[in-house]
Amino acid sequence: MNESSRPVLAIRGLSTEVQTRRGVFRAVDDVSFTVPAAGKVALVGESGSGKTMTALSVLRLTDPGVRIVAGVVEFKGQDLLLLRENQMRHLRGSELAMVFQEPMTSLNPMLSVGYQIVETLRAHQKISRKQAKQRAVELLHRVGIPSPSTRVDAYPHQLSGGMRQRVMIAIAMGCRPSLMIADEPTTALDVTIQGQILDLFEQIREQDGTATWLITHDLGVVAGFAEHVLVMYAGQIVESSPVKELFRSPLHPYTQALIQCVSAVGVDGTTRHTRLPLVEGRIADIESRPSGCRFRPRCPRAHEACLEDPPWVEKAGRGARCVLLSEKEP
């Protein structure tokens, strides 16, 4: 492995449990993957698949009642799960940045955006208030906010959704992080703004070498942005693949169904007014997951062997959690 492809983040066997009134359930189950330095990795899944919980576990920002029960989260060589809380706090926002879906709830409405950028910069770097303010203007300029020297004194409600998300990214990139975790960063935005924001992540990667871990439900965004894709279903990674191969020949029946669902409703209009392909049923509730393969009740190719836990089968840099792959050898 050469220097540039050494992973910035390596997760091995991460498991997280949630305590509910009806017992303890696994929201994240034995998740392993890596994010290469300056790489672009996407974690895709539908709601309730556990993708956000995976990110929160890595950042150690889970709610009380949620417990990380196993795994190693190696960030630039150190296991985040073994760090003390104050060490962790030092990493978050500097080396390890995050951008969330709803910029209005992540920003403090009582403070100007400049103050919030300065606050983050000064928490991690020894610079004066004046220098920090100057840097805040620079950052706002870099994320494409027009007239940054006046906008630095604006309050979040005075900015549009796209502008607020840019401010969030300015805060996140302030300390030149090695990894940016972006949880549905474009979901609340319009398509024309969505493209601008994704371009911004690409630009930050090129200029600062920041790796991006994108969490999304939108396969269209994944196709245009990521290099490597992980598909999550009911708490588990079910497929891991470079992006081209994933869309060209998805291995797992769930990925196949998802891609079929999405490409059937494309703007190219090849399937107008026809009936759409369906995935029967819905994601099993965390409290009532089926035994064996969790996709089994919805899978068109389910058979007896699927009652057992499916193996993780790896082939040529790709992998999937499905018994069908180990059965038929090409």
Partner 1 sequence: MTGASADNASMKRRPLLQVERLSKLFAVSSGLWGKPSFARAVDDVTLHVRHAETLALVGESGCGKTTLGRCILRLIEPTFGRIVFEGKDLSPLSQRQLRPFRKQMQIIFQDPYASLNPRMRIGDIVAEGIRIHRLASGSEVMDRVVAVLDSVGLSRDVIMRYPHEFSAGQRQRVGMARALAVEPSFMVCDEPVSALDVSVRAHILNLLQDLQEKRKIAYLFISHDLGVVRHLSHRTAVMYLGKIVEVGPTDDVFSGPWHPYSRALLSAVPVADPERKQLRMVLEGEVPSPISPPSGCPFHPRCPKNDGVDCVQRMPPLREMPEGVHHRVACWHPEGRTM
Select from 24, 82, 111, 278 the one that contacts partner 1 (CB under 8 A).
278
> Which residue, 72, 78, 14, is CA-closest to 43?
14
Let me know how many helices (H) and strands (E) the chain has, helices first. 12, 12
Find the shortest distance in angstroms from Cβ 119 to partner 1.
Answer: 26
Binder among 53, 258, 306, 323 for partner 1 (CB under 8 A): 258
Q: Is 139 in the site for partner 1 (CB under 8 A)?
A: no
Query: Does residue number 160 form part of the binding site for partner 1 (CB under 8 A)?
Result: yes
**What's the CA gap between 182 and 196, in Å, rounded?**
15
259 part of the interface to partner 1, by CB under 8 A: yes
The interface mask with partner 1, positions 163-202, x = CB under 8 A, is x--------------------------xxxxxxx--x---
Sign (positive or negative) of CA dihedral 62, 252, 32, 95: negative
> H-type helices in 48-128, by residue range?
51-59, 85-91, 103-106, 113-124
Residues in the chain: 330
Which CB atom, from 177 or from 235, has the smaller least distance to partner 1? Answer: 235
Give the nearer residue to partner 1 in terms of CB position, either 97 or 219. 219
**Would you tell me how many other CB atoms lie within 10 Å of the CB of residue 263?**
16
Residue 42 near partner 1 by CB under 8 A: no
Binder of partner 1 out of 77, 85, 110, 276 (CB under 8 A): 276
317/309 Cα distance (integer angstroms): 22
Interface segment toward partner 1; rule CB under 8 A; list 21-29, 125-133, 150-158, 266-274: 266-274
Q: Which is nearer to partner 1, 149 or 160 (CB)?
A: 160
From the list 147, 249, 271, 291, which residue makes contact with partner 1 (rule: CB under 8 A)? Answer: 271
Check residue 273 for interaction with partner 1 (CB under 8 A): yes
Shortest reach from residue 280's CB to partner 1, in Å: 9
- C-beta of 59: minimal distance to partner 1 in Å? 24
Contact window for partner 1 (CB under 8 A) among 14-22, 129-137, 156-164, 204-212: 156-164
Shortest CA distance to 28 belongs to which of 52, 7, 9? 52
Q: Which of 84, 157, 272, 328 binds partner 1 (CB under 8 A)?
A: 272
Number of residues this chain uses to bind partner 1 (CB under 8 A):
50
User: Going by C-beta distance under 8 Å and a sequence separation of 6 or more, which residues neighbour residue 3?
Assistant: none
Nearest by Cα to 228 from 5, 76, 71: 5
Tell me: does residue 286 bind partner 1 (CB under 8 A).
no
Question: Taking CB under 8 A as the rule, does residue 146 contact partner 1?
Answer: yes
Determine contact, residues 261/276, Cβ cutoff 8 Å: yes
CB of 39 to partner 1, least distance (A): 15
Q: Which residues make Cβ contacts (< 8 Å) with residue 97, sequence separation at least 6?
A: 171, 172, 173, 175, 177, 179, 180, 181, 210
- Nearest CA-CA partner of 184 in 203, 210, 165, 156: 165
Q: Which of 115, 148, 113 is nearest to 132 (CA)?
A: 115
Q: Under rule CB under 8 A, which residues in 195-234 are in contact with partner 1? A: 195-196, 199, 217-224
Residue 22 burial (C-beta neighbours within 10 Å; 0-12, 13-18, 19+): exposed
Give contact residues for partner 1 (rule: CB under 8 A).
46-47, 146, 160-163, 190-196, 199, 217-224, 243-244, 246-248, 257-259, 261-269, 271-273, 275-279, 282-283
